[in-house]
Structure 1
Amino acid sequence: MSYLELPDGVPLYYEDRGSGPAVLLIHGWTMNSTFWGQNVGPLSESNRVITVDLRGHGLSGKTDEGHTLSQYARDVRTLLDHLGVRDVCMVGWSMGTAVILSYVQQYGCDLLRSAAFVDQSPRFLDGEGWDFPLLGGYSTTDLAVFTQGVRHARPSVIKPFIAACFAETPPDEVIDAVYAETTKMATSAALSVWYDMAYADLRPVLPSLTVPTLLMYGARSKIFPGELDAWLAARLPKAQVARFENSGHAPFSEEPDRFNETLAAFLRS
């Protein structure tokens, strides 16, 4: 087990495997690095693969402080500096993509070789002229109902959300196992960053991401339905799309072999 003490004293858990071009895998909201279990091995055959549990998540330190996209991005920068990484491909699943965009907002493309987005929108909330909010339509009322549910009846809200992440509903035991991992994050911390992410609008950052960017999106995503990948590709300077026809919100888990092959080919290119 490897830990880095962040500047504010929070221990950050990470793993560093393989050799070659560096790849940083950044997980989604309330998740952790164990969700990359089907990807790290194949990718580390020809790459240096770094995984991290963002503060408050997984095996990292539990704290009520710093649960914002901008702080998560600063933590990532601290990790890269600690490891001496100067040329990395950042891969972000869901909230992990928002962390990448926050990183670019603060640091530009410094230390970035490339990036990969895995099924995430740069804006959660509804808005005039915006076709790709969370769940196809997410208002401030929806936000209030969801967050109150998380606060007072967390499993009854999060378990259906987990089920919706997949094109085909998983067995109950799989949903329970995923939920158990999410409970490693305190409810208060989970809500803090959810609010931050829900009110963020990262669309203005997109033109600043000038490195090659791979868009890995599930054609059957219920979390972000529609052709969000095509919308992003038209606004990112160097984007290419890899659409996963049999996946929802988690193509790295639903189609792991194709995901690994697609990402490995992008890394070689």
Structure 2
Amino acid sequence: MAYLELPDGVPLYYEDRGSGPAVLLIHGWTMNSTFWGQNAGPLSETNRVITVDLRGHGLSGKTDEGHTLDQYARDVRDLLVHLGVRDVCMVGWSMGTAVILAYVRQFGCDLMRSAAFVDQSPRFLDGEDWDFPLMGGYSTTDLAVFTQGMRYARPSVVKPFIAACFAETPPAEVVDAVYAETTKTATSAALSVWYDMAYADLRPVLQSLSVPTLLMYGTRSKIFPGRLDDWLAEQLPQAQVARFDNSGHAPFSEEPDRFNEILNVFLRS
């Protein structure tokens, strides 16, 4: 077990394994590095694989401070500098992609070799000029209902959200196990970064992501339905699309072998 003490004293948990091209796996909202369990090991056979629990998540320090996309991105940069990584592929699942874009907004593509997005939109809220909001339509009223549910009946809103992450509805025991991991993130921290992410509009950052970018999207995603990957490919300077026909929001878990193979090819290209 390895920890980095961040500048504000928060311990950041990470694992660093393998050798070769460096790849950093960044998890989603209220999740943690254990969700890369089917990927980190196989990828580390030919790559240097770094996983991290973002502050307040998993085994990292619990704090009420710093739960914004920008701070998470600064924490990621502190970790890369600490490890001496100068040429990394950042892979972000869901909120992890938003962290990558927050990184680019602050630091450009410094220390980055490439990036991979795993089923995430640059804007959650709906609008007249936007076809790819969360759940296909996410208003400020939807946001208020969800966050009130988080405060007062967390399982009642998070468990259905977890179930919706998969193309096929998982057994109740699987949803319960995932939910148990999400409770390692305090409700206050989870809400802080959810609000930050919900009101963010990261579309203007896309043109600044000048490194090769792989878009790994489930065609059966209920979280971000529609051809969001095609739209992103038109906005990004160097993008390629990998679709997962048997996956929803979590292709790294639903089709892990194919996910690992495609990512490995991208890391070598």
Task: Pick the TM interval, shorter chain.
Answer: over 0.9
1:209-248 matches, cutoff 5 A:
209-248=209-248
Query: Residues of 1 paired with 2:155 and 2:143: CA distance?
Result: 17
- Give the match for residue 75 of structure 2: 75
Query: Residues of 1 paired with 2:56 and 2:79: CA distance?
Result: 15
| Per-residue deviation, residues 138-160 of structure 1 (Å, max 9, x unmatched) | 00000000000010000011000
1:36-185 matches, cutoff 5 A:
36-185=36-185
Number of equivalent positions: 269
Q: CA deviation at 1:129?
A: 1.6
Q: CA deviation at 1:234?
A: 0.3
Query: Residues of 2 paired with 1:24 and 1:41: CA distance?
Result: 13
SS class of match (2:31) = coil
SS class of match (2:267) = helix
Query: Residues of 1 paired with 2:150 and 2:31: CA distance?
Result: 15
- Give the match for residue 35 of structure 1: 35
Q: CA deviation at 1:133?
A: 0.1
Q: CA deviation at 1:128?
A: 1.2
Q: CA deviation at 1:84?
A: 0.3
| Per-residue deviation, residues 195-253 of structure 1 (Å, max 9, x unmatched) | 00000000000000000000000000000000000000000000000000000000000
Q: Percent identity?
A: 89
SS class of match (2:235) = coil
TM-score normalised by L of structure 2: 1.00
- Unmatched 5+ residue regions in structure 2? none
RMSD of the TM alignment (CA)? 0.3
SS class of match (1:232) = helix
- Unmatched 5+ residue regions in structure 1? none
Counterpart AA for 1:70: D
Q: CA deviation at 1:31?
A: 0.1
Query: Residues of 2 paired with 1:181 and 1:175: CA distance?
Result: 10
Q: CA deviation at 1:194?
A: 0.1
Query: Residues of 2 paired with 1:209 and 1:13: CA distance?
Result: 27
TM-score normalised by L of structure 1: 1.00
